[in-house]
Amino acid sequence: MRTSIRTQHFPESIIREMTRIALDVGAINLSQGYPDFAAPQVLKDAATQAILDDWNQYSVTWGLKPLRDAIADHYRRRYGMEVNPDTEVVVCCGATECMIAAMLGVVNPGDEVIFFEPYYESYIPNCFITQSTPRFVSLRPSADGRWEFDPDELRRAFNERTKVIIVNSPHNPTGKVFTREELQLIADLCIEHDVIAVTDEIYEFITYDGAQHIPIATLPGMAERTITISGMSKTFSVTGWRLGYAVAPEDLMIGVRKAHDFMSVCAATPLQIAGVTMMALGDDYYLRLRQDYAQRRALALEMLREVGFKPVVPQGAYYIMADFSAISDEDDITFGLRMARDIGVACVPGSPFFSRPELSRSIVRFAFCKKQETLEQARERLQKLKRS
Ligand code: GLN
């Protein structure tokens, strides 16, 4: 084989594969998590204007200074975090690049990286790239429909080889929003074992039923050992603009910035200009975002329940994990493909989110970041499941 051993071990992205299948067969795409509605007009205007103003060249690799200032200001205002925009911020091509840059910046071959399972699929290739070993801690739905982990299992995952724990909250794919108590336990273990938290907070502003997003960096003793990652994609419905950012103490940020510099040089300059406008949007924008998503979630849950799925209600993000064993005894891949081809609705089979296929045999993930009419159409098509 002429490809590298490293990439031979990469899984194919099943999430993106499902989008390709949805396009091929004309299915409504509730697989890959991207909105099908417009971004706010002010952002489109800002980006267009930046292009007209000839912002055509590379920006400083760490991100345009006004954008880094706006990001630092945002962390101060929203979470009381003190972040130095000159030394502790980097802007990357999406939170996904931030995550791999963070891993390359701090992980050595042979280190262990803990994360919760189910997990977002890119954490696995990130371990291959950094030649580190993943350690999984299971999230399981409890009787009252919340995703929980066993504190002892988490404690057992920490050892002298542990370098990083990835803390993804609100969590993809489950929608779990980690509570202060859960984060405190993670923080205590990080401090005890001298472990770095690399976070994925890309859904930080999409939460439901009063669930509060808490950056783990705000817990005592954590600011100095946390790389906090977020971005514009989900908050401003611009997943294709590829704008993400990370903040971390300077000694960690040095590694993250170097990795980013040699991977992508910089994020798209005119879009970074528009990013300054994004960061300036007021509280009413965030309130509206939450309200709109609460409506989409309600509709999606109803649509799934009425045809026999058993969804676990998410507290954040815009995905629903649903058990389909009452509808079909197929495995998740067979069922997912049939849904796309015959029913005309694409979702993501559970497998890419789990290390062991038996855990996801009857689970699929639906993304509900869609227009009301898209969800209504999907609902219509799903009725066929009752007859199939
Ligand atoms: N974050 C999005 C999702 O989970 C997009 C992922 C992707 O393209 N792999 O669906």
Q: Residue type for 150, please? A: D
Q: Residue type for 277, please? A: T
Q: How far apart are CA 200 and CA 130, in angstroms?
A: 18
Q: How many CB atoms lie within 10 A of CB 152?
A: 8
The yes/no answer on whether domain 41-279 falls in CATH 3.40.50.720 is no
CATH, domain range 5-32+284-386 = 3.90.1150.10
Closest atom, ligand 1, to C-alpha of 367: 10
By three-state DSSP, how is residue 212 classified?
A: coil
Burial of 377 (C-beta count, 10 Å sphere; 0-12/13-18/19+): middle
E-assigned strand segments in 108-243: 112-117, 133-138, 140-141, 147-148, 162-168, 196-200, 226-231
| pTM summary value | 0.96
CATH 3.90.1150.10 residue ranges of the chain are 5-32+284-386
Angle at 202 between CA 359 and CA 227, to 5 degrees: 95
CA of 240 from ligand 1 middle (Å) equals 11
Q: How far apart are CA 70 and CA 11, in angstroms?
A: 37
Q: How far apart are CA 291 and CA 208, in angstroms?
A: 9
CA of 32 from ligand 1 middle (Å) equals 5
Nearest to 102 by CA among 230, 169, 198: 198
Going by alpha carbons, the residue nearest to atom 1 of ligand 1 is 33
Query: Best of 16, 19, 23, 32 to mutate for ligand 1, by most ligand atoms within 8 A of CB?
Result: 32
Cβ of residue 172 lying under 6 Å from some atom of ligand 1? yes
Q: How far apart are CA 195 and CA 243, in angstroms?
A: 27
CATH 3.40.640.10 residue ranges of the chain are 41-279
Asked if 102 contacts 198 with a C-beta cutoff of 8 angstroms, the reply is: yes
Cβ of residue 360 lying under 6 Å from some atom of ligand 1? no
Query: Best of 10, 13, 14, 15 to mutate for ligand 1, by most ligand atoms within 8 A of CB?
Result: 15
Nearest to 75 by CA among 234, 267, 246, 233: 246
Nearest-10 crossing angle of helices 372-382, 283-305: 10
Per-residue pLDDT of the chain (388 residues; tens, 9 = 90+): 899 988 888 888 889 899 999 999 999 999 999 999 999 999 999 999 999 999 999 999 999 999 999 999 999 999 999 999 999 999 999 999 999 999 999 999 999 999 999 999 999 999 999 999 999 999 999 888 899 999 999 999 999 999 999 999 999 999 999 999 999 999 999 999 999 999 999 999 999 999 999 999 999 999 999 999 999 999 999 999 999 999 999 999 999 999 999 999 999 999 999 999 999 999 999 999 999 999 999 999 999 999 999 999 999 999 999 999 999 999 999 999 999 999 999 999 999 999 988 889 999 999 999 999 999 999 999 999 885 6
Going by alpha carbons, the residue nearest to atom 8 of ligand 1 is 16
